[in-house]
Amino acid sequence: MSSPIRRLLLGNPIPTDRTEDERVGPLGGLALFAPDAMSSVAYGPEEVLIVLMAAGTAGLAYGVPIGVALAALVAVVATSYRQTVQEYPSGGGAYAVARENLGVLPALIAGAALLTDYVLTVAVSVASGAAAVTSALPGLFQHRVELAVACMAVIMLLNLRGVRESAAAFAVPVYGFITCVLAVVLVGLWRLASGSLEPLPDPSLETTSALSLFLVLRAFSSGCASLTGIEAVANGVQAFREPRGRNAAWVMTCIAAVLGTTVLGVSVLAHRLNVVPQPDETVLSQIAECIFGRSVLYYIVQGMTALILILAANTSFSGFPRLAAFMAKDGYMPRQMLNLGDRLVFQNGIVLLAALAGALVVAFHGEVTRLIPLYAVGVFTAFTLSQTGMLVHWLRNGGPAAGARAAVNGLGALCTGVVLVVIAATKFTHGAWVVCLLIPAMVVGFRAIWRHYRFVASRLSLDMAPTVQPVRNLRLLLVGGIHRGTLEALQFIRTEGPDTRAIHIEVGGEAEPRVLREWARWEKEIPLEVVPCPDRNLAGTLVEYIEAEQRQGGYDYVTLVVPEFVVGTWWESLLHNHTAFWIRFALRAHTGVAVVSVRYRL
């Protein structure tokens, strides 16, 4: 984007040395990481009932037992992940735990599963938010896809503005929804207990399937979508201020407590009030209407529900870029995922997530029920690998109360492993097969990227490199005709000056970067000047440097020589930053500046 528009939308660049100031405390962390888990209250219990409706009234009777099972599963998973965030405060979640304790292949499977889940989370969240809006405003139903994509674009921009700004922007909707859904559950249960709440008439349901264990398990697996988002705290521990592990564990406990209470409460209320899913109105909307009527309170609940469903995507926008950066650091994803943007966020990961999720919403026409079967396979794969890795960690390293901690993680691995098998078996023909094929394909892609980076590193290594020798330089002038432009170029090619230097644009904030030491080892005559770049805008810093030298040194021409390595295939070129191209692009309009690319083919 052009600079003025970029500044308007994203704000001014934040210097690298202010990274710690951009981290959040427990309350801000809850605003960042709670939306995904909390939003599932609006559709998790409903997805259970949609499956159970096939068996008629007899099937709906299992809604409350399944709600109890889901609340218990939330408690087990959250307790296990509390230990993960405290033991791995550097973040990375299931990927980091599996990499250290189980090996590379399980880590890549966990990474692929989580990345897939994050994309699906964004798609399901904005589609569910659009459904909540159209429940209250049916006239917008035909525009639900456009509404979902527009909301996704707004969330993307808010995340590009930085962690603190996004946390501040989402605090009111997150805490507002928690207050509203707790009010619905508590007031509804109180009115049921006091006998002042009348249930709806018994629903007349057409039985299309016999009640069976398989049907109940399929309903349970649909409800397991309620657990998505819990793992995001473990992936984003670096977003918290010190003590990171303790702050993340506090947020994990709060999320689990509210999530388990509300999922179970909504399940009980739906059963006691005879609420069943409707094509044009959500279960939570019907429950709120029974309790509050079509009053201001009802519309506040619906408004907060729509906001939390849409903003649930923000959890993925916090987790996906960080996980992608972790994997890119190990060489399993493109290095561009490591680039910090103007606002100290991994902007390439944010944009990539929005593009993938937007494509899903359009492809599935914004229908939540068609997306849900794809949803829980990835997250429970990551759950199982993370808890298994923690079990190995305690057994291998020991420590205070290692036996009890190993038991907690072992129980978590067992529960999530069983649930994963149930989900894969019951949802396979309903779309889960797509994820079961996608995850192995992504692992193959990760390994291909890693092999490419290993090849590049071996070809660029200084081991056994020859010493730098003077060479003859042939300067050529390509003449297509004689005109003033030709004379200008002729004047340039005749110019010789004594000034030769090398510069390094330092974006990492180091006072004495490694390149300075390497240069002193390989080159004795030409000095290397380190130019600080606190906003990480390499091209902009370089342009400012050249302009200052032209202005202060009185140079007519500046010849910038840019070393550039060339890879063999088009897909390999997608894995690199193409810095030389962007430098040439930034200097395209500057007179008296020549950019020479010295290409080295690997």
Alpha carbons 253 and 82: distance in angstroms, whole number: 8
C-alpha 80/C-alpha 405 separation (Å) is 8
pLDDT over threshold 60, residue 1: no
- Residue 589's pLDDT is 83
Query: Is residue 121 included in any domain, yes or no?
Result: yes
Give dist(CA 496, CA 263) in Å, integer: 76
CA 426: distance to chain centroid?
A: 27
CA dihedral 275, 280, 282, 283 (to 10 degrees): 0
* pLDDT given at position 132: 67
* Separation between Cα atoms, residue 318 and residue 324, nearest integer Å: 11
Confidence of residue 372 (pLDDT cuts 50, 70, 90): low
Q: How far apart are CA 271 and CA 291, in angstroms?
A: 14
CA distance 535 to 3: 14
Asked if 423 and 491 sit in the same domain, the reply is no
Q: How far is residue 115's CA from residue 316's CA, in Å, rounded to a whole number?
A: 9
On whether residue 393 sits in a domain, the answer given is yes
Report which residue type is found at 338: L
Q: Distance between CA atoms of 590 and 125, rounded to whole angstroms? A: 47
User: Is residue 458 a part of any domain in this protein?
Assistant: no
Q: Which tokens in the block code for residue 550?
A: 């032209």
Q: Is the dihedral of CA 585, 587, 592, 595 positive or negative?
A: negative
Quick one: 18 exposed, middle or buried, by C-beta within 10 A (0-12, 13-18, 19+)? exposed
Confidence grade of residue 212 (pLDDT, cut at 50, 70, 90): confident
Paired sense of beta strands 528-532 and 502-506, if any: parallel
Of 367, 368, 361, 372, the closest CA to residue 430 belongs to 372
- Residue of 422, 560, 44, 12 whose CA lies nearest to 263: 44
Query: At which of 412, 430, 453 does a domain end?
Result: 453
Residue reference for tokens 């004379």: 487
Q: Where are the alpha helices (DSSP H) in 293-431?
A: 296-311, 313-329, 347-363, 368-371, 376-397, 402-427
Q: With CA atoms as reference, report the closest residue to 208 among 63, 62, 51, 61.
A: 51
In the predicted model, what is the mean pLDDT of residues 210-224? 84
Confirm whether 95 is domain-assigned: yes
Residue 440 banded pLDDT, cuts 50, 70, 90: very high
E strands within 160-260? none
The dihedral of CA 451, 457, 463, 465: what is its sign? positive
CA 442 to chain centroid: 16
pLDDT band at 107 (very low <50, low <70, confident <90, very high): very high
- Output the six-digit token pair for 343: 């606002």
The DSSP secondary-structure symbol of 200 reads: P
Nearest to 503 by CA among 546, 564, 557: 546
Q: Are 528 and 333 in contact (CB under 8 A)?
A: no
- CATH number of the domain encompassing residue 522: 3.40.50
Whether 170 is covered by a domain: the verdict is yes
**Tens-digit pLDDT profile for residues 528-584:** 888 888 888 888 889 999 989 888 888 888 888 888 888 888 888 889 888 888 888
Last-in-domain residue among 404, 436, 453? 453
Cα distances (Å, whole numbers) of residue 192 to 113, 272, 373 = 42, 8, 33
Burial class (CB in 10 A: 0-12, 13-18, 19+), 189: middle
Query: What's the mean pLDDT in 140-159?
Result: 84
pLDDT digits (tens, 9 = 90+) for 70-103: 999 888 888 888 888 888 887 778 898 899 899 9
pLDDT at 60: 86
Asked whether the beta carbons of 526 and 503 are under 8 A apart, the reply is no
Comparing CA positions, the residue from 97, 91, 108, 107 lying closest to residue 449 is 108
- 448 plus 513 within the same structural domain: no
Measured from the Cβ of residue 392, the count of other Cβ atoms closer than 10 Å reads 18
Q: How many residues does the chain have?
A: 602
Q: How far is the CA of 366 from the CAs of 123, 186, 193, in angstroms?
A: 8, 32, 38
Give the per-residue pLDDT at 513. Answer: 83
CA 310, CA 304: separation in Å to the nearest integer? 10
Q: Are residues 505 and 429 in the same domain?
A: no
Residues 235 and 117 in one domain: yes
Cβ neighbors of 206 (< 8 A, separation 6 or more) are 56
Percent of the chain scored above 70 by pLDDT? 97
373 and 508 part of one domain: no
Omega before 26 within 30 of 0, i.e. cis = no
Q: Evaluate whether residue 258 is within a structural domain.
A: yes
Alpha helices per DSSP H over 161-312: 163-194, 213-223, 232-235, 244-272, 283-292, 296-311
- Please tell me whether residues 151 and 220 are part of one structural domain: yes
Query: Do 112 and 254 reside in the same domain of the chain?
Result: yes
Per the CB < 8 A criterion, the answer to whether 214 and 430 are in contact is no
Task: Give dist(CA 52, CA 58) in Å, integer.
Answer: 8
Residue 393 sits in the same domain as residue 489: no
Q: Around Cβ 438, how many Cβ atoms within 10 Å?
A: 17
The CATH number assigned to the domain holding 191 equals 1.20.1740.10
Residues 492 and 449 in one domain: no
Domain count, the chain: 2
Higher pLDDT, 135 or 521: 521
Task: Say which residue, 110 or 230, is predicted with more confidence.
Answer: 110
| Cβ neighbours of 360 (radius 10 Å) | 18
Residue 466 amino acid letter: P
What is the distance between the alpha carbons of residues 460 and 469, in angstroms, rounded to a whole number? 18
* 248 and 112 part of one domain: yes
pLDDT tops 90 at residue 8:
no
Query: In this predicted model, what pLDDT tens digit does every residue of 484-513 receive, in sequence order?
Result: 877 777 777 776 556 788 888 888 777 778
CA distance linking residue 534 with residue 16, whole number of Å: 5
SS (H, E, C) 446-493: HHHHHHHHHHHHHHHCCCCCCCCCCCCCCCCCCCCCCCHHHHHHHHHH
Q: What is the pLDDT of residues 281-335, one digit of tens each?
A: 888 889 999 999 888 999 898 888 878 877 777 778 888 998 999 899 999 999 9
Same domain, 177 and 240: yes
pLDDT interval class at 398 (50, 70, 90): confident
411 occurs within a structural domain: yes
490 in the same domain as 448: no
Domain assignment present for 50: yes
Which range marks the domain in which residue 591 is found?
484-601
- Burial environment of residue 281 by CB neighbours within 10 A (0 to 12, 13 to 18, 19 or more): middle
CA torsion sign for 222, 227, 232, 235 is: negative
431 phi/psi in degrees, rounded to 5? 130, -15
What is the rounded distance in angstroms from the CA atom of residue 571 to the CA atom of residue 153?
28
